[in-house]
Structure 1
Amino acid sequence: MDVDNGSRRVFNRLGRHSSSSSSSSSAAAPSSMDAPPKVCYHWRAGRCYKHPCPYLHSELPQMNENGATAKRSHGFQDGRNVSGYQTFARRKQNNPNFNSSNPPQMASKWGRGFKAPQKIQDKCCHFWMEGKCAYGDKCKYQHQWFVGDSFSMLTQLAGHEKGINAIAFPMGSDKLYSGSKDETVRVWDCQTGQCVGVVNMGGDIGCIISEGPWIFVGAPNFVKAWNAQTNADLSLSGPVGQVYALVVGNDMLFAGIQDGNILAWRFNAATNSFEPAASLNGHSLSVVSLVVGANRLYSGAMDKTVRVWDLDTLQCVQVLSEHKDVVMSVLCWDQFLISCSLDRTVKVWAATDSGNLEVTYTHNEEQGLLALCGMHDGETKPILACSCNDNVVRLYDLPSFNERGKIFSKEEIRAIQVGPGGLFFTGDGAGDLKVWKWS
């Protein structure tokens, strides 16, 4: 397969470190009038039910060494796909993931916002989507593919005959890759918008990622690896069933498989091949999402759990079981792990005193969630895109979860990918690949 060179992809491992002060979680009232005020630990977690509560339901200002209020910045440093986002910055001595005892001050901001959350109620006309709305301009529903004033749709790339499951945009390349249930990978020229290559894989495409010059494609019972510099074409055997997720970490390629296993390969430069390195066993059902951050591999699966794996030992160090249905997507943002599920929730995880991850905020949707993607808007503010099974992608500011806009589609959107210069891409169940841009 002839593709242009892709430069080395940057996967954020540890990002910056924060040094937020630990807060008390004691249930006792302050011992004296002179004691400094304490912030309610349960309020920070969004679950204080005491009225009145003896502790503060607001944050104390954080002062720097000059006496000024300290400020923090948040965001995805590499808005390319879930495996490339800003990863956790907290390390703890007994858990290499974190370095501070309690969730950071920002945890109390989740879902609270700096203004009343704005819900965008507009709906798209389904008859207009099919090209047969008789009401025209008098229709009470939207006759456009999105609602929001900070982004716009640039174009639609037509060609796939079935649903799009995966999109990849290699760093430094001018080619976009999309994989579909029509069993093909299409290569698009980003300058012309034309399809310049079609590769038949002989099975549904479950995922596509890029790492340096390599393009990896997950298909039933194997992973295809193409090298854009040498034109090497390799097939990695070992998977049993569909390959749903791929990610690179600690110089290994990991694949989430239909049988519940996670397989790992390591590249051997001497033989120019990928050699089996390990099989991570623990999930009882298909692994559908993977992300790497802070020397950890996080896996979301159909068994309703997220597992946390140490990349050095390849051992599972924690199982997160708070979701009530399939965990469809996981990603890392700032000091947090974010997961979504068909149980209609987005959960935000942060470290506790023990060093383990616990839910610090739960965002509820009216529909099941299919995919998460993090990106920056035109003003570099962090945005979380949440695809739901009502064929709508909802865009939220982080950490407030104020709604910024909606993207409508004929069928559910399974693939969201970020590109350079404020671009991002969506692929839906009808085979439509759309290109968007932040203003």
Structure 2
Amino acid sequence: MNSGVPATLAVRRVKFFGRHGGEMLLTGSEDGCVYGWETRSGQLLWRLGGHTGPVKFCRFSPDGHLFASASCDCTVRLWDVARAKCLQVLKGHQRSVETVSFSPDSRQLASGGWDKRVMLWEVQSGQMLRLLVGHRDSVQSSDFSPTVNCLATGSWDSTIRIWDLRTGTSAVSHQALEGHSGNISCLCYSASGLLASGSWDKTIHIWKPTTSSLLIQLKGHVTWVKSVAFSPDELWLASAGYSRMVKVWDCNTGKCLETLKGVLDVAHTCAFTQDGKILVSGAADQTRRRMSRTTKSPSDPQT
């Protein structure tokens, strides 16, 4: 883990977004639409429809050219960011799609959902490359390793599976990370290959997947953990519980540095911007989104 000492963390409210129903922020809605926002001004850039069910998850590709949205309508849609246009509709899941994730090179996309299956797609053609079967319950989260060699998936069977994608055959081996006592609700790789997992057991685990070892356990949420996100420098981990609180943790000590108490409804997601200076949390009232700015101490030259 990063051995650096975290700088002082200052948190203040920056913006509320209220139109559901520099950098871009994506939000998915129960109305089946994906919304694009300009983060600095809070301006709504576009509202894209097409899904016939609620949007459960959306994510940008690492190269910034595309984004994907997953829906209760059993499909994944691939969109062009610049043109705000749907390029592909990926069909194959038999039930609601709960998670999508791009490979670091933006060439592949993984999706998982209530049919217990994980599908691996080629982004350019929209062709399904592999079907990964092994989870015993709904797949709720996924993330590629930084090397593209592995895919992590989290399920309501309380396990995390690390799929080895290096084989050239359709058969994919996997290892299971066990230790949570509840459903796995969220996963996130760090840039160096650490893996954070959040669960219905109200805890967060930080793993070293290459050795299947648990490095640290974070306790403090009073409800199940809905979302986790590493800061770019890996000093901090943000987590959103199924409550009005978002927590920021020291990844080295496991200490909770800040608890952000919102005035909105349940926080469904949290994410750092690429420079690590802004932490975004999404509320569940379908009308607003909150952003908090995380800045380092005045002595930090990057502030």
Short-chain TM bin? 0.7 to 0.9
**Does 1:289 find its partner at 2:186?**
yes
Tell me, in whole angstroms, the C-alpha distance in 2 between the residues paired with 1:194 and 1:98.
40
CA offset digits 1:159-194 (Å, max 9, x no partner): 112111122333447543211011111233445434
**Does 1:236 find its partner at 2:236?**
no
What letter corresponds to residue 187 of structure 2 in structure 1?
Answer: L
In the alignment, which residue of structure 2 is the partner of 1:221?
116
Cα distance, 1:358–1:123 mapped onto 2, change above 3 Å: same
1:265·1:274 contact (CA, 8 Å) conserved in 2? Answer: no
Tell me, in whole angstroms, the C-alpha distance in 1 between the residues paired with 2:20 and 2:165.
50
Tell me, in whole angstroms, the C-alpha distance in 2 between the residues paired with 1:300 and 1:388.
18
CA offset digits 1:182-234 (Å, max 9, x no partner): 11112334454343432332111111111132111112211001124684521
Cα distance, 1:224–1:125 mapped onto 2, change above 3 Å: closer
1:207·1:244 contact (CA, 8 Å) conserved in 2? Answer: yes
What letter corresponds to residue 299 of structure 1 in structure 2?
Answer: S
CA offset digits 1:310-355 (Å, max 9, x no partner): 222112232212110011111111311111112321111115xxx5
Of residues 215, 229, 248, the one that matches 1:317 is 215
Give the superposition deviation at 1:110: 2.5
Counterparts of 1:77-226 in structure 2, within 5 Å, are 97-100=1-4, 103-104=5-6, 106-107=7-8, 109-111=9-11, 150-172=41-63, 174-200=65-91, 201-211=93-103, 212=105, 213-219=107-113, 220-226=115-121
Of residues 357, 362, 387, the one that matches 2:259 is 362
In the alignment, which residue of structure 2 is the partner of 1:423?
none
Higher relative contact order (CA 8 A, sep 6+): 1
In the alignment, which residue of structure 2 is the partner of 1:422?
none
Tell me, in whole angstroms, the C-alpha distance in 2 between the residues paired with 1:224 and 1:125.
30
In the alignment, which residue of structure 2 is the partner of 1:260?
158
TM-score by length of 2: 0.78
In the alignment, which residue of structure 1 is the partner of 2:290?
394
Q: SS of 1:319's equivalent? A: strand
Of residues 186, 193, 196, the one that matches 1:298 is 196
Q: SS of 2:51's equivalent? A: coil
2:14·2:291 contact (CA, 8 Å) conserved in 1? Answer: no
Tell me, in whole angstroms, the C-alpha distance in 1 between the residues paired with 2:226 and 2:162.
21
TM-score by length of 1: 0.55
Tell me, in whole angstroms, the C-alpha distance in 1 between the residues paired with 2:204 and 2:243.
14
1:246·1:254 contact (CA, 8 Å) conserved in 2? Answer: yes
1:268·1:274 contact (CA, 8 Å) conserved in 2? Answer: no
Q: SS of 2:172's equivalent? A: strand
Structure number, greater radius of gyration: 1
Aligned length: 270
Counterparts of 1:375-394 in structure 2, within 5 Å, are 375=273, 382-391=277-286, 392-394=288-290
Tell me, in whole angstroms, the C-alpha distance in 2 between the residues paired with 1:181 and 1:190.
22
The structure carrying a bigger strand percent of its residues is 2
Cα distance, 1:118–1:291 mapped onto 2, change above 3 Å: closer
**Does 1:307 find its partner at 2:205?**
yes
What letter corresponds to residue 280 of structure 2 in structure 1?
Answer: A
What letter corresponds to residue 326 of structure 1 in structure 2?
Answer: W
Q: Percent of counterpart pairs with the same letter?
A: 23
What letter corresponds to residue 370 of structure 1 in structure 2?
Answer: H
Cα distance, 1:118–1:338 mapped onto 2, change above 3 Å: closer
Unaligned runs of 5+ in 1: 1-96, 127-144, 401-439
2:77·2:90 contact (CA, 8 Å) conserved in 1? Answer: yes
Tell me, in whole angstroms, the C-alpha distance in 2 between the residues paired with 1:239 and 1:125.
34
Cα distance, 1:158–1:280 mapped onto 2, change above 3 Å: same
1:169·1:175 contact (CA, 8 Å) conserved in 2? Answer: yes
